[in-house]
Amino acid sequence: MATISPASDFAPATTRVAAPASTRDLRLDFYRGIAMFIILVAHISDNPWANWIPARFGFSDATEIFVFCSGMASAIAFGGAFLKKGWVMGSARTLFRIWQVYWAHIGLFFFTAMCMAALDLSGWFDRSYVDALNLQHFFDDPVPQIVGLFTLTYVPNYFDILPMYLVVLAMMPLMMGLKQLGFWAMALASVLIWAVAQTGTLALPAEPWSERQWFFNPFGWQLLFFTGFAFMRGWIPAPPVSKVLIWAAILFVVLSAPFGSWKVFLWVEAWNPAVADDIRATWPLTGEFRDKTEFGLLRYMHFLSLAYLGWVVAGDKGARLLPTGDGTAAQLWQQALNIIVKVGQQSLAVFVFSMAVARLLGVLLDIWGRDPLPVLFVNLIGFILITGVAYTAAWFKSHPWKSRK
């Protein structure tokens, strides 16, 4: 994992300091890209493939990968601004990113809502896609909901992740300010905020007509974000490659599987109902400790275990991810790796697009059915589309219209 010297994170512009890593870690983009494909599969409505994503076999899921890797990427993108330009300019750089994510959230909502309304207006379906996405309140009484949408006091179902990400980003200047006192101050603040969030005290309202909260409480999830941030900044040393740690991580992941997913519970029950009953009776930690809203402790432990195994498997700087040899298999893997990494590099554009297109891909499954062949076809269409978006976004970011001279 790439690290930088933590000697000074707020050096004046006139002081010569070691520059932070300017290139992204291959492992960061690879695993973030994998998360983007999983997130697409998970959000296609009634997608049979979603029964086999990692979330069905453990406490954590692709959301944890997205948030953790976002913290690592932010350490490169924004941490460098704090390092080279000071706290004020670093905060300004973070504010600019918040501005971009905010409008991505607003645009995603209105585009998706428009698509659902157009489907209902078409008269082609005997179901309401507006109701299926729980948007009937918005269309029935749009004036207060538009105000709520722009002030983040109305966070509809399905549009939860970006608001959480916005608040976590907004906490970065605070955390970087505390870092001037020492890493212990930042770490303690993050842990204390997370602990208070577990009590429900910091819950944010998601809609005015009910007591529903934000599905992702940013004050809980910030712990994971700043863990990734601290790893990439070098404030937390990379763990050693140890057989003891490897087996501990494997055992935790494997042994927690029956408690991390009701799908596995059903398998256990089919094998031996008495064992399933014993598990339910003797394992109380299937509630708040695995809660997704406040980011329960078991989710944190499960993800760190998976992250450690992924870090070991990938090797130093992702060396084991690279193909060996020049055969057909190596060439195919290199092409697949290029695609996954590109998707990971353009994660915001890919995420926003995938959330919008996933609903439309679900409509195709409603039309064609959910037998294996149409399900395969629809998911592959989705993979091709988000890959195209990643390469298109990268092309635009390269400013090809500028002179290369």
Tens digit of each residue's pLDDT (9 = 90 or more) over 183-210: 999 999 999 999 999 998 999 999 988 9
**What tokens does 239 get?**
């763990």
Residue 92 CA, chain-centre distance (Å), reads: 24
pLDDT of residue 22: 45
Residue 2 pLDDT more than 50?
no
Residue 383 CA, chain-centre distance (Å), reads: 17
- Give the separation between CA 78 and CA 87, rounded to whole angstroms: 11
pLDDT digits (tens, 9 = 90+) for 295-318: 989 899 999 999 999 999 999 888
What is the DSSP track for 186-205?
Answer: HHHHHHHHHHHHTTTTT--B
Q: Are residues 258 and 383 in the same domain?
A: no
Q: Is 279 inside a domain boundary?
A: yes
At residue 255, the 3 state secondary structure works out as helix
Between residues 51 and 351, which one has the greater pLDDT?
351
Q: Is 22 inside a domain boundary?
A: no
Q: Are residues 222 and 330 in the same domain?
A: no
- Give the separation between CA 59 and CA 296, rounded to whole angstroms: 9
Q: Is 378 inside a domain boundary?
A: yes
pTM of the model: 0.86
Q: Is 384 inside a domain boundary?
A: yes
Boundary residue ending a domain (258, 286, 321): 321
Boundary residue ending a domain (268, 290, 321): 321
Q: Are residues 295 and 374 in the same domain?
A: no
The pLDDT of 224-238, averaged and rounded, is: 93
Q: How many angstroms separate the Cα of 108 from the Cα of each of 101, 103, 132, 205, 355?
A: 10, 8, 17, 20, 8
Residue 11 pLDDT more than 80?
no
Q: Are residues 51 and 67 in the same domain?
A: no
Q: Are residues 258 and 158 in the same domain?
A: yes
Q: Are residues 111 and 230 in the same domain?
A: yes
Beta-carbon contacts of residue 175 (< 8 Å; ≥ 6 apart): 186, 189, 190, 226, 229
Q: Are residues 197 and 102 in the same domain?
A: yes
> Per this entry, what is the length of the chain?
405
Q: What is the domain range of residue 41?
A: 32-56+326-394
- Measured from the Cβ of residue 137, the count of other Cβ atoms closer than 10 Å reads 18
Among 338, 335, 334, 342, CA closest to 392: 342
Q: Are residues 305 and 350 in the same domain?
A: no
pLDDT digits (tens, 9 = 90+) for 348-364: 999 999 999 999 999 99
What is the DSSP track for 282-298?
Answer: H-GGGSGGG-TTTT-HH
Boundary residue ending a domain (292, 321, 350): 321
Place of tokens 């409505």: 45
Q: Are residues 79 and 50 in the same domain?
A: no
Beta-carbon contacts of residue 93 (< 8 Å; ≥ 6 apart): 77, 78, 81, 82, 85
Q: Determine which of 141-150, 193-202, 276-285 has the lowest per-residue pLDDT on average.
A: 276-285
pLDDT of residue 256: 83
Q: Are residues 244 and 126 in the same domain?
A: yes
pLDDT digits (tens, 9 = 90+) for 310-341: 999 999 888 999 998 888 999 999 999 999 99
pLDDT of residue 276: 60
Q: Is 161 inside a domain boundary?
A: yes
Q: Is 403 inside a domain boundary?
A: no
Q: Bridge-partner residues for 219, per DSSP?
A: none
pLDDT digits (tens, 9 = 90+) for 160-186: 999 999 999 999 999 999 999 999 999
Q: Are residues 43 and 120 in the same domain?
A: no
pLDDT of residue 189: 97
Beta-carbon contacts of residue 338 (< 8 Å; ≥ 6 apart): none
**What tokens does 325 get?**
């040899």
How many CA atoms does the CB half-sphere of 351 hold within 13 Å? 24
Going by pLDDT thresholds of 50, 70 and 90, the confidence category of residue 6 is very low
Percent of the chain with pLDDT over 70: 86
Q: Is 402 inside a domain boundary?
A: no
**What tokens does 4 get?**
């930088």
pLDDT digits (tens, 9 = 90+) for 78-137: 888 888 889 999 999 999 999 999 999 999 999 999 999 999 999 899 899 999 999 999
Q: Is 17 inside a domain boundary?
A: no
Between residues 7 and 94, which one has the greater pLDDT?
94
Q: Are residues 175 and 316 in the same domain?
A: yes
Beta-carbon contacts of residue 281 (< 8 Å; ≥ 6 apart): none
Chain-wide mean pLDDT for the chain?
A: 87
The count of structural domains within the chain is 2
Q: How many helices (H) and strands (E) does the chain have?
A: 18, 0
